[in-house]
């Protein structure tokens, strides 16, 4: 793989894997701790609907994915606050509706082809510099907000009732986390595809949780694990001519299964 780094597309792919690892490590930790997994899945499938609509309208697929997934993710976030007991069912309906909208509008678009498939299965080797700048910008915003609100985020993540009694703006943090998550999902599906994005957001934090003593150590370990999974998966995919996104998740899944056999921190 080293000799392939002389090519720009390979360098872009490596940078994308590393930036994606930072986003997955930080936001994925919140997803696991707050039990937002179904929300992440709903956002990913809503993004597919946005891609289909964008292709039908003749606008940028990424712009359509961001707009549509952001709108649905805010609706899902509202449902989680107001209808907590039925949130999983309602999000499931929105999940299916978003996916169906993408398929229908894609069918109505003549010759949609490759763009839609790249969002479905991922295409890390075609990541452009513009994608890298967006990922880097989102990661920078996430790091700054995480540092400034670190105490409030810790309280919000583990005990919302306690956080409210301490004056923490729980509702604001809830919607803020959902917005950042939706933006990250749209960017990450360009790498591993919407089918596998949930695994990349949840596997590294799930492994890290066993060996962490705090929320921040969990995020740090998750970032390192995500980077290792992404780089190893990318190297294996290039070596054996396989789909990079699927190999990255295969590596992560194998490590997760091994971690189940290891004793964690008490």
- pLDDT of res. 224: 94
In terms of Cβ atoms closer than 10 Å to its own Cβ (0-12, 13-18, 19+), residue 26 is buried
Interhelix angle 37-57/8-33, rounded to 10 degrees, is: 140
Cα(150)–Cα(68) distance, integer angstroms: 29
Is 251 a domain residue? yes
Cα(19)–Cα(41) distance, integer angstroms: 20
Is 213 a domain residue? yes
Cα(73)–Cα(159) distance, integer angstroms: 22
Is 266 a domain residue? no
Please list the alpha-helical segments (H only) found in the chain.
Answer: 8-33, 37-57, 61-82, 87-108, 114-121, 129-148, 150-158, 160-165, 170-192, 194-209, 215-240, 244-260
SS (H, E, C) 160-172: HHHHHHCCCCHHH
What is the DSSP code string of 38-88? HHHHHHHHHHHHHHHHHHHHTS-HHHHHHHHHHHHHHHHHHHHHH-GGGHH
- pLDDT of res. 195: 67
**8 A C-beta contact, residue 20 and residue 230:** yes
Instruction: Please state the pTM of the whole predicted model.
Output: 0.86
> Rounded to the nearest 10 degrees, how much is the dihedral formed by the CA atoms of 154, 156, 159, 160?
170
Is 39 a domain residue? yes
Cα(179)–Cα(69) distance, integer angstroms: 9
Tally of structural domains, the chain: 1
Is 265 a domain residue? no
What count of other Cβ atoms lies within 10 Å of the Cβ of residue 143?
12
Is 9 a domain residue? yes
Q: What tokens were used for 250?
A: 């295969």
What is the CATH number for 18? Answer: 1.10.3470.10
- pLDDT of res. 85: 67
Mean pLDDT of each 10-residue bin along the chain, 266 residues long:
74 88 92 87 82 83 82 86 77 84 83 62 79 91 92 87 87 90 84 77 92 90 93 88 85 92 69
- pLDDT of res. 266: 54
Q: Among 25, 14, 244, 26, which Cα is nearest to 129's?
A: 14
Structural domain that includes position 61: 2-260
- pLDDT of res. 87: 77
Is 202 a domain residue? yes
Cα(50)–Cα(57) distance, integer angstroms: 10
């Amino acid at each position: 793989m080293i000799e392939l780094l002389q090519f720009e597309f390979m360098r872009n792919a490596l940078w994308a894997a590393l930036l994606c690892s930072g986003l997955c490590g930080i936001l994925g930790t919140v997803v696991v701790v707050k039990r937002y997994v179904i929300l992440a899945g709903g956002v990913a499938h809503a993004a597919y609907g946005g891609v289909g609509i964008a292709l039908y309208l003749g606008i940028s697929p990424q712009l359509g994915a961001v707009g549509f997934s952001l709108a649905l993710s805010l609706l899902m976030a509202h449902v989680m606050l107001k209808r907590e007991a039925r949130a999983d069912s309602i999000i499931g309906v929105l999940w299916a509706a978003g996916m169906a909208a993408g398929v229908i509008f894609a069918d109505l678009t003549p010759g949609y082809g490759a763009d839609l498939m790249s969002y479905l299965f991922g295409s890390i080797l075609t990541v452009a510099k513009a994608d890298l700048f967006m990922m880097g910008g989102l990661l920078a915003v996430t790091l700054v907000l995480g540092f400034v609100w670190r105490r409030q985020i810790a309280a919000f993540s583990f005990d919302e009732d306690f956080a409210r009694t301490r004056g923490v703006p729980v509702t604001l943090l809830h919607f803020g986390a959902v917005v950042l998550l939706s933006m990250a999902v749209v960017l990450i599906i360009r790498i591993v595809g919407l089918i596998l994005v949930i695994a990349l957001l949840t596997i590294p934090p799930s492994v890290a949780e066993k060996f962490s003593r705090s929320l921040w150590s969990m995020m740090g370990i998750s970032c390192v694990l995500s980077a290792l999974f992404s780089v190893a998966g990318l190297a294996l995919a290039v070596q054996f001519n396989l789909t990079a996104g699927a190999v990255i998740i295969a590596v992560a899944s194998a490590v997760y299964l091994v971690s189940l056999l290891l004793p964690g921190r008490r």
